[in-house]
Structure 1
Amino acid sequence: MAVSGSIWRLLLIGLVFHLVYIGTVFDCYFTSPVVHGMRQHSLAKPEAKRLVLIVGDGLRADLLLAKNGFSMIPGAPEIVAPHLRSIIETRGAFGVSHTRVPTESRPGHVALIGGMYEDVSAVTKGWKTNPVDFDSVFNQSSATFSFGSPDILPMFARGATPGKVVMWCYDEHEEDFTKDATALDVWVLEHLRALLHNATTDAALDARLRGEKTVFFLHLLGLDTTGHSYRPHSKEYMANIQVVDEIVKQTEELFREFYADDETAFVFTADHGMSRIGNHGDGDPDNTRTPLIVWGKGVRGPLPDTYPSSHDEYSESWGLTHLVRRDVEQADVAALMSALIGVNWPVNSVGVLPDVDPTRRGYLRPKEGKKTLAEAALVNAKVVLEHYRIKHEDKKRHSLFYKQYPYFAAVESAEDLPGESELSAIEHLIQHGDYYPARIRSRDLIRHTLEGLRYLQTYDRLLIRGIVIAAYLGWIAFCAVSILDPHSATTKALRFHVAAAAVLVGFWAVFAKQRSPWSFYVYIVFPCYFWDQALSRASGPMLESLRQGRARALMNYTIRGALVVAALQSMVAGYTHRSIWSAWFVIIGVLWPLSSWTRELLAKHWRLLLCWTAACLGTAVFPLLDVHQQESLTAITAGGAAMCAIGMFGMLKIQYPDPKEANRQKVVTYWLLYELGWSVLFTIFIVWNLREKKPVPQSWRLIAWGTFLSAVVTPFVFPAPRSNPHGRLLSFFLGFGACFVWLAIGVEGLFYVAYSLTLCLWVEVESVLRGHTRAKDASSAVDKGSKEAIVRDSRGSDTYRPHADDLRIAVFFLFFVQVAFFGTGNVASISSFYLEPVYRLVPVFSPFLMAALLIFKIIAPYIILAMTFSMLNARLNLPPFSLFLVALSLTDIMTITFFLNVTDTGSWLEIGQTISFFCISSLLLVWSAGVCAVGELLMAGPSHSTLTSSVKG
C-alpha cells in the first residue's frame, strides 16, 4: 500500500526536528569552557626542576589502595601495590581524584593536563582530535617527553607549540585484548630507559633533559585493556597493578641514577576508573574515583589524620585512616603540576590548587613556606577570574538586558573590573605577611568566581528551556491536528502566519544582538512553525466539527490521553527502575485481556490468549535479572538451541501456495540453521581458548567471521518469497540470531527469542481484536463509516483515519521500543557493551569495528520489531507508518520529562544518567523511524490475504 504524501511530510518534519533538538541539551546545560584572549599567570619560583606524570589508565582507587582488595582471588597479597603504599606512608601525600562524565580517556586526560572539563557535547565530534582548542601543562613546559598510547599522546602534541611535546607511541595493533596487556606498560618503561640511556652519549639531548620546567608523561594503558578483557576483580587486573607498581619503582630509580638530585616531583593518578563489568564512560562511582599520589620535590610528606576524619566508608578498608586523605577534582591536578614546576597555569584551567584553602591540608611543601602558598592562591584566583572577566565583557556587550553576577555587582564599582578590589586586598595582605587571611580571601574569591562562571554559562538556560518546551508541545499539537484532520484549512490562517513570522523575526533579532550560536536560530523555527500550523488547522473545520456534536468523542480521547500520559510516565520511571518493564508485561499479558476482552473473545481465542500470556510472562523475567552478567556458555548454547527449535517449527508450519517457493524457503532455512549450529560450536571453542589464554588459530577466526557474516547476509541475498511474510520474518530472525550467539555474554539469545515471539503474538492479538471490533460495528450498523480505517479521499490518496484503539497500539509500540533496549535488566542493552564477546571476533583494539558489532547487536531486535509492526499495519489495513506517527507524537511527553530532569550538578552518575536518558528518548524514536522504513522495505509486497493464511494451525 502506498504511503500518502501527508504521512511522508509529517515523518520527515518529525525526524529532522528530533535530530536537531538533541543539541538543545548541550546548548542549555553544557556551554563550551574555552575562552580566548586571556592573560596567563604563574608562580615566580618553581619548587621542582622537573615533573613525572604517570597515569594508570582505567585504575580504580579502591583496588590500588585497599587491603585485601582481591580477597576473592586465592593467594592474593594483602597489599597489591607495596611501593606506592610505602610512598603514601613514608614520603608522599594521597587522596582521591574525582573525575567527571564522560569517564573516558580523552576527557580525563584533558582535565588532568589541561585543567579544564571538556564540553560534554565534544563526544559528538570525536575524541581522536581536538574538538575544542585547549592549552595544557605540556604546552607550558620547556619540553615534554611522553610515552604510551597512540590514542592519547598525539592530541597533546597537536595542541602544543611545535617540537615542544615529543612522543613515543606503540602501534595500534599492539593493543590486542587477547594478549597480556602488561606488555604495553613495560614498553613505556623500556623506552623511557632508552631515552635516558641515549642522553649519556647525546649532549644536546642531555642538555634538554636537564633543563628546568621539564615534564615526563608515562601513559600506562595496560590496566584499561586488562580491565575490559577480564574485569577489575580478576587476577589479571591485580597482576597488572603489580606491574604498574614495579614500573613506578623502576622509574624512580632511573631518575635517581640519571639526575643524581632530588629535584623531581612525581604525580601518579588515573584518567578514570572502571565498573565491575569492565566498562567506563558513565557516572558509575567506580568510574569516577581514581587514585592521586604525589611525592618528591616540593611535596609534603604524610600527615596524621584530622578531626573530623578525612576518611569515609569508601576508604575505611584501606588501612590508611591514620593519614590525611586529601581529595581533589580532576582538573585540580593541572593546577598542582603547574605550581610544582612554576609554569603558567593552562589558559583555560578551572582547577583549584588543593593548597588554596588553609583550613585543609594541601599537597605542597614550598621552600618559602606560607608565603609561597599565599602567592599560589593569588595566582589561582587570577587565573580563574580571567575566565569570568572575558565572559562578563562578552555578555555585557551583546546582551540586551544584562545583569552581572550579584557578588561582583555588590562588591565592585561600575568602573572597576570584576574582582579588582579583592585582588588588591589579597596582595596587600601578602605584602604585610598576613598569609592565612590572604589564602582565605583567595579561596572565597575563587569560589565566587567559579559560581559567577556558572552563572554566565547558564545565562541563556531559561530561554532555551522555554523554546524547547514550546517546540515539543507544538509538535504534539501539530501531530494531533495532522492525524485527526490532515486536510483541514481556514481562511483565518493568515493572521497566524503573520504572528508566527513576527515572533520568529523578533527572536532572530535578539539572537543577532547577543551573538548567539547559530543553533539558536534553528531551534526557534520549529515552535513557530508547529504552533502556526496547529492553530491554523484547529481553528478551521476541525474546531467547527467539535462544536457540532463531537464533544463526547473529544471527552473519550481526553480520558484515553490521560491514561496514555500515565503509561508514558511509567516508562520514564522504567529507565531507573527495571522492574517496571516486568510489571508492564504482566499488565498487557494478563490484566489487560482479562479486563477488556469480551467473554466471546476469551472463549473463541483462548489458545491465543494462553500463548500471549505465556510469552509476556516469559519475557517479563529478563528485566529482573542482575545487571552484572558473567560469561555463560550454557546460556549462550540454550539461546542458540531455542532459535534452532523455532526455525524447525517454522519450517513445518509455514505454508506456501507455490511448491517452488516452499522448497526455496526450506533451503534458506536449512542453511541458516546450519550456520547457527556452527556458530554455537565455534563460539564454545573460542571461549575455551580465551579462558585458557591460548591464542585463537587464525583459521578459527576466519570460520567465525564466515559463519557470522553468512548468517546475517543470507536473508538479504536470498530473501524468502514475498508471498509469505511469516517465512520472511523467520529468515531474518534466524539470520540475526547469529549475533546473539557470537556476541552474547549470557542470556541475550534467550531474550531475543522471547521478545520475538511476543511481537509475533502481538500481531495476532491486535488482528483478532480489530476484526472483532469491525464485525461488531458492522452488525450493529451504528457507524458504517467506521468499519474501515482507510478511506479514499476526493484526490484518490490513501488517508489515515484514527481508530480508538490506535492510541493503545502506539503505546504498546513505544513500550516494545523501550524494552528492546532496556527491558532485559540491562542484559540486552548495557550488556551489549560488554567487550568479552567482541574479542571472539576482534582481538586487536579497533574501536570502530568493535562499536559496529555492539551496535549491530542492539539493532537486531529492532529489525524484528520493524517487520512485525509492518505486518501489523497491513493486517489492520492501515497505511505504512500511520501507527508510527501516533507513537512519534506521544513519545515527546517522555522527552519533555527527561529534558526537564537533565542536571549538570550533583553526582556524576546523576549527571550522566539524565543526559543519556534525554538523548535515548529522543533518538530511539528517530532510530525507530529508520528501522520501520527498513521493515516496510523488507516486508513490501505481501497481500493482506497471505498475512492471514500463511501459517498452519
Structure 2
Amino acid sequence: MSRSLSPRALTESIEITKLLLVGLVFHLVYIGTVFDCYFTSPVVHGMQQFRIDTPGAKRLVLIVGDGLRADLLMNLNAFPNIPDSPEVVAPFLRSVAETRGAIGISHTRVPTESRPGHVALIGGMYEDVSAVTRGWKTNPVHFDSVFNQSSHTFSFGSPDILPMFAQGATPGKVDMWCYHEDEEDFTKDATALDIWVLDQLRALFHNATDNSTLTAQLRQDKTVFFLHLLGLDTTGHSYRPHSKEYMTNIQVVDTIVRQTESLLSEFYGDEETAYVFTADHGMSVIGNHGDGDPDNTRTPLIAWGAGVRGPLPDSVPSSHDDYSMPWGLTHLFRHDVEQADVAALMSALIGVDWPVNSVGVLPDVDHTRPGYLKFTGSAKDQAEAALVNAKVILEHYRVKHELKKSTAFLYKPYSYFAELEDEGEPGSSVLNVVEVLIKRGRHDEAREASANLIASALAGLRYLETYDRSLIRIMVFVAYTGWMAFSAAHILPAAWVQPISDEQMLDIFSATCLLVSWTLFAMQHKPWSLYLYVTFPVYFWREAVLKCGGSLGFFLLFASLLVAVSSAKSLRAKLGLPLVNQVAGWAILSLASALPFVVAPFKLDPNMRIWALFLGFAVCFVLLSISVEGCFYVVYSATLYMWTEVETALTTTPSGRPLNKNHLDDKGYQLRAEDVRIAVFFLFFVQVAFFGTGNVASISSFYLEPVYRLVPIFNPFLMATLLIFKIVAPYVMLSVLFADLNHRLGLPPLSLFTVAVTLTDVMTITFFFNVSDTGSWLEIGQTISFFCISSLLLVWSAGICVLGEALLRPSRAAPPKAKSG
C-alpha cells in the first residue's frame, strides 16, 4: 500500500523538479553563447573594390593538393622506410622551384579542414567555425572570392568543395565539374579522383576546338582554372602520410601538374599563364587533421609562370630553418605566407578586384624581403600594389566601423584610428601620406607605411569582430554564477536562509535591469538570442537573493576569490586586467557591500548581523589584497570577537547579569577599573585597524598596487576611494563588536567611549612632543601622521561607536521569541 507524501515533502519535490527543469533549459540555451561570442561571421557587404592596374598574367591556374604536407613534398628522401623510394618524390615541382618559381610555406589556421582552408585560399578570409554547421558543401552566407572576380572560372574536383564557390558567385561566373560523392571511397585507389580531374580539363580543351562560345570564354583575360585534387587527403586518412600509397599519390599529383601546364601551353601557345600550387591543410602522422599540429598547418606554396619572379638566392640571415633544411634548397630564398595571402597574390597576378572580405596581405608589401611578383616596371609598381592592398583592408575596416558605429551604444573606435583624428574616413590621412611618398619616389617608405596601415587595419578588424565579446562574457559569468547561487538557495539548511526585507523593491530592481537590457539591445539591433540570455541571470539572482539573501555572502566571497586569482595571474603575466574580471570585481564588491543592509535586519539576531557584516566586507579584502594582508581582516575580526567574549565572561555572571551592580545606579553610569581596560583595548584596536591593513604607512605614503585589480588605469580619486573603503572595513567590525559588548554589559550607549576620550588626549600630547622635523620624508611623515591621527581619533572613535549602535539597533529592536513551556 503506497503512502501519500506529506504537504512539506510534496512542496520540496515540486521545488526540486522546478530546479532541474530550469537548469536543463538554461544549460541548453546557453550552449548558444559560445557561438554568439566566439564564432560570428566576418562577412559584411558594401565595400568599394580595388585592383592592380598592371597584371602580370592573363590567366591563372590554381592547383590544390588536398591534405598535402610540405615536408613530404619537398624533402629529399622523404620516404626512407619505403624500399626503392625515389630521392625526389615530385621531380617536376622540384624542377619548377629550382629553375622557374618562388617557394615558401603557406601557414594555415585552425581548424585545419578543407572548407576553411579553401575559403582562406580563394576568398582571402578566415571563415568562422560555425559556418560548418550551416552547410559543408554549400555556402548560405555568400562571401566574395577570386573566382567571383574573374572573367570566368573553370573548376574541377570534389563535390564537397566546388559548389560553395559556384553558388556563392555571380550566376554563370563559375563552372564546375564534380565527380559523384560516392566516388570518395576510402577503400578504393584515391588517385583515380585526381586523374579524373585531369581528364575533365583535357576534355574541356578538346571541346573548345569545335565550340566557339567556349573558346571565347577560355581566351578571355582574367580566366581562372581550379583543380582540386582530393586523392592525397583520402589516401592519407586511409593509409597514413608516410605510406607507399601516399607517396604514390604525390607522384600522381606531380604528373598532373606537369600535364596541366602542357595542356595550357598547347592550347594558348603563349607564356601568359600563372600557376599557383598549394594545399588546404596538411596531415598528421596518424592520418588526421583539424587541430594545430605543425604537420597540419604547414603546406607547400610554389608559384611560377607569368607575373611571378624566378628563384632568388637565399638571404642573410637565412630564410630557412630546421624544417626546410631537408629540402636541399637552402641556396634558394624561401618566403612564407599566411593562407589568406594566397588570395591576394592571385588577385594581383591577373589584375582582378580583391575579394571584398579579403584579409590577405600581398607578400610583396614587405619591403625588407623579396615577394612573389615580377614587376615589369620600377619600384613604383611595388609601392602601388602595397597601397592597393592597404586600401582593400582599410575599406573592410571602414565598413565594419560604420556598421558598429551606427548600432553600438557609446561606441569606441579602434585606438589607432581614434588617435589619427581623421576628419574624413578612418585612415585617410595615412593613405594621403603613402600617395605623397610614391609621388616623391620614396617607394620603400611608402611600402613600409602601407604595411603598417595594413597591420593596424587588421588589428582594427579583429577589434570590431570581437567588440561584443566582453558583453557576452560578462553575461555568461553572471548567469552561471547566478545559477550556482539559485541552486544553492534550494539546498541550504533552513537555519541559513535569511530572506530580504522588501520583495517589492527587489522585483522593481529586477524588472528595471531586464527592461534596460532589452532597451539597449533594441537600440543596438542585437540578435534575439541576447534578449533570452539576459533573462536567465536576472531571474536567477532575483530568486537567490529573495530566498536566502543573507547566505549569499558565502557565495560572493568564493566568487571574489576566483576573480582575484584570475586577475592576479593576468597582471603577473603583464597581460593587463581583463575587462570581464574588472566588471565582475566591481559587481561582486558592490553587491557584497550592500548585501548586509538589504537582508532583513529585523529577522537577524546580533550574532547573525555581525556575521553578515563580516562576510560582506571580507570581499573587499579579497579583491584589494596582493599578499598576506588579506589574512589581517580575518585575524583582526576573530581577535575582536574573542576579546568581546573574554570581557563578557569577566564582567558578567553565567546568567548574563553584570557582576558589579553598582556599575549602574540612580546617578547613572559609574566608572570602574575594568572599563579603563576595555577602553585601552578599544584604542589599541583602533590603531591596529588603521596600520594593519597594509594600505597606508602614514598620511604621506599610499601603496596603490592593491587597487589594480579594479582600477588598472591611474585614477587618483577612484583609487583613493577604494583604499579608504578598505581601511574602513575593519572599523565596521570594530564598531559592531564594541557596540555589542557595550550592550551585553548592560551599559548605556556610548558609555565606554567616554573613557576612551580621556586616554586619547594623553596620546595626543605624547605624539605632539614626538613630531620630528629631521630625517627622511617617511620618518617625518610618520611622526606627523601619529599626531594628526590621535588628534582626530576623538571624532573617528565617536563615529565608530555611533556606527556600531546604528548597525546593531535593528536586530535589538526585533521582538523577542516567545519561550516554550
Q: TM-score range by the shorter chain?
A: 0.5 to 0.7
Counterpart code for 2:439: Q
Q: Secondary structure at the match of 1:190?
A: helix
Whether the 8 Å CA contact 1:60–1:272 is kept in 2: the answer is yes
1:498 and 2:508 correspond: yes
Q: Which residue of 1 aligns with 2:69?
A: 60
1:36 and 2:52 correspond: no
Whether the 8 Å CA contact 2:33–2:472 is kept in 1: the answer is yes
Q: Which residue of 2 aligns with 1:446?
A: 454
Q: Which residue of 1 aligns with 2:256?
A: 247
1:434 and 2:442 correspond: yes
Residue 422 of structure 1, aligned match among 424, 430, 433:
430
Within 5 A, what are the aligned runs for 1:336-735? 336-413=345-422, 415-484=423-492, 492-539=502-549
Residue 82 of structure 1, aligned match among 65, 68, 91:
91
Cα distance, 1:530 vs structure 2: 1.2
Spell out, residue by residue over 1:860-916, the C-alpha distance to the aligned partner (whole angstroms, 9 max, x if none): xxxxxxxxxxxxxxxxxxxxxxxxxxxxxxxxxxxxxxxxxxxxxxxxxxxxxxxxx
Cα distance, 1:72 vs structure 2: 2.0
Spell out, residue by residue over 1:261-285, the C-alpha distance to the aligned partner (whole angstroms, 9 max, x if none): 0000000011111111111122222
- Evaluate the alpha carbon distance shift between residue 355 and residue 470 of structure 1 in structure 2; reply closer, same or farther with a 3 A threshold: same
Q: Which residue of 1 aligns with 2:681?
A: none
Whether the 8 Å CA contact 2:500–2:545 is kept in 1: the answer is no
Whether the 8 Å CA contact 2:143–2:168 is kept in 1: the answer is yes
Q: Secondary structure at the match of 1:53?
A: strand
Whether the 8 Å CA contact 2:137–2:160 is kept in 1: the answer is yes
In structure 2, what is the Cα distance between the partners aligned to 1:14 and 1:360? 57
Q: Which residue of 2 aligns with 1:270?
A: 279
Cα distance, 1:71 vs structure 2: 1.2
In structure 1, what is the Cα distance between the partners aligned to 2:378 and 2:95? 25
In structure 1, what is the Cα distance between the partners aligned to 2:41 and 2:255? 40
Residue 309 of structure 2, aligned match among 284, 300, 306:
300
Flag the structure with more relative contact order, 1 or 2, with Cα contacts below 8 A and sequence separation at least 6: 1
Residue 103 of structure 2, aligned match among 85, 94, 102:
94
Whether the 8 Å CA contact 1:149–1:219 is kept in 2: the answer is yes
Which ranges in structure 1 are unaligned for 5 or more consecutive residues? 547-553, 567-953
Cα distance, 1:121 vs structure 2: 2.3
Spell out, residue by residue over 1:275-332, the C-alpha distance to the aligned partner (whole angstroms, 9 max, x if none): 1111112222211111111000000111111122212222122212221111111111
Counterpart code for 2:105: V
In structure 1, what is the Cα distance between the partners aligned to 2:281 and 2:446? 34
Spell out, residue by residue over 1:579-628, the C-alpha distance to the aligned partner (whole angstroms, 9 max, x if none): xxxxxxxxxxxxxxxxxxxxxxxxxxxxxxxxxxxxxxxxxxxxxxxxxx
Residue 167 of structure 1, aligned match among 171, 176, 187:
176
Cα distance, 1:491 vs structure 2: 6.5
Counterpart code for 1:290: T
Counterpart code for 1:517: P
Q: Which residue of 2 aligns with 1:70?
A: 79
Counterpart code for 2:370: R
In structure 2, what is the Cα distance between the partners aligned to 1:217 and 1:324? 27
Range with bigger deviation, 282-291 or 86-95: 282-291
Counterpart code for 1:301: G
Spell out, residue by residue over 1:473-495, the C-alpha distance to the aligned partner (whole angstroms, 9 max, x if none): 11111111123369977774333
Whether the 8 Å CA contact 1:93–1:363 is kept in 2: the answer is yes
Spell out, residue by residue over 1:732-770, the C-alpha distance to the aligned partner (whole angstroms, 9 max, x if none): xxxxxxxxxxxxxxxxxxxxxxxxxxxxxxxxxxxxxxx
Q: Secondary structure at the match of 1:309?
A: coil
Whether the 8 Å CA contact 2:142–2:169 is kept in 1: the answer is no
In structure 1, what is the Cα distance between the partners aligned to 2:397 and 2:59? 31
Range with bigger deviation, 390-399 or 528-537: 390-399
Cα distance, 1:183 vs structure 2: 0.2
In structure 1, what is the Cα distance between the partners aligned to 2:15 and 2:336? 59
Counterpart code for 2:457: T
Within 5 A, what are the aligned runs for 1:308-319? 308-319=317-328
1:51 and 2:60 correspond: yes
Aligned-pair identity (%): 69
In structure 1, what is the Cα distance between the partners aligned to 2:416 and 2:155? 43
Q: Which residue of 2 aligns with 1:580?
A: none
Counterpart code for 1:98: H
- Evaluate the alpha carbon distance shift between residue 124 and residue 6 of structure 1 in structure 2; reply closer, same or farther with a 3 A threshold: farther
Q: Which residue of 1 aligns with 2:20?
A: 11
In structure 1, what is the Cα distance between the partners aligned to 2:416 and 2:170? 38
Whether the 8 Å CA contact 2:66–2:279 is kept in 1: the answer is yes
Cα distance, 1:428 vs structure 2: 2.1
Cα distance, 1:454 vs structure 2: 1.6
Spell out, residue by residue over 1:22-50, the C-alpha distance to the aligned partner (whole angstroms, 9 max, x if none): 33333333432111111111111221000
In structure 2, what is the Cα distance between the partners aligned to 1:535 and 1:124? 39
Cα distance, 1:231 vs structure 2: 1.0
Q: Secondary structure at the match of 1:40?
A: coil
Whether the 8 Å CA contact 2:137–2:159 is kept in 1: the answer is no
In structure 1, what is the Cα distance between the partners aligned to 2:158 and 2:14? 53
Counterpart code for 2:446: A
- Evaluate the alpha carbon distance shift between residue 123 and residue 497 of structure 1 in structure 2; reply closer, same or farther with a 3 A threshold: farther
Residue 294 of structure 2, aligned match among 285, 296, 303:
285
Q: Which residue of 2 aligns with 1:216?
A: 225
In structure 2, what is the Cα distance between the partners aligned to 1:444 and 1:248? 37
Cα distance, 1:4 vs structure 2: 4.1
Cα distance, 1:397 vs structure 2: 2.4
Within 5 A, what are the aligned runs for 1:908-923? none
Q: Which residue of 2 aligns with 1:801?
A: none
Q: Secondary structure at the match of 2:177?
A: strand
- Evaluate the alpha carbon distance shift between residue 496 and residue 188 of structure 1 in structure 2; reply closer, same or farther with a 3 A threshold: same
Q: Which residue of 2 aligns with 1:687?
A: none
Counterpart code for 2:34: V
In structure 2, what is the Cα distance between the partners aligned to 1:485 and 1:315? 66
Whether the 8 Å CA contact 1:68–1:77 is kept in 2: the answer is yes
Residue 238 of structure 1, aligned match among 235, 239, 247:
247
In structure 2, what is the Cα distance between the partners aligned to 1:534 and 1:48? 69
Q: Secondary structure at the match of 1:168?
A: strand
Cα distance, 1:411 vs structure 2: 2.1
Q: Which residue of 2 aligns with 1:657?
A: none
Counterpart code for 2:545: L
Counterpart code for 2:526: S
Whether the 8 Å CA contact 2:337–2:363 is kept in 1: the answer is yes
Within 5 A, what are the aligned runs for 1:760-799? none
Residue 187 of structure 2, aligned match among 178, 182, 203:
178
Q: Secondary structure at the match of 2:364?
A: coil
Which ranges in structure 2 are unaligned for 5 or more consecutive residues? 3-9, 566-821
1:198 and 2:173 correspond: no
Spell out, residue by residue over 1:348-369, the C-alpha distance to the aligned partner (whole angstroms, 9 max, x if none): 1111101011112210002224
Cα distance, 1:232 vs structure 2: 0.9
Within 5 A, what are the aligned runs for 1:919-934? none
| Greater C-alpha radius of gyration | 2
Cα distance, 1:256 vs structure 2: 1.1
Cα distance, 1:182 vs structure 2: 0.1
Cα distance, 1:155 vs structure 2: 0.9
Cα distance, 1:458 vs structure 2: 2.3
Whether the 8 Å CA contact 1:6–1:486 is kept in 2: the answer is no
Spell out, residue by residue over 1:8-30, the C-alpha distance to the aligned partner (whole angstroms, 9 max, x if none): 43233223322332333333334
Query: Across the two proteins, how many residue pairs are aligned to each other?
Result: 552
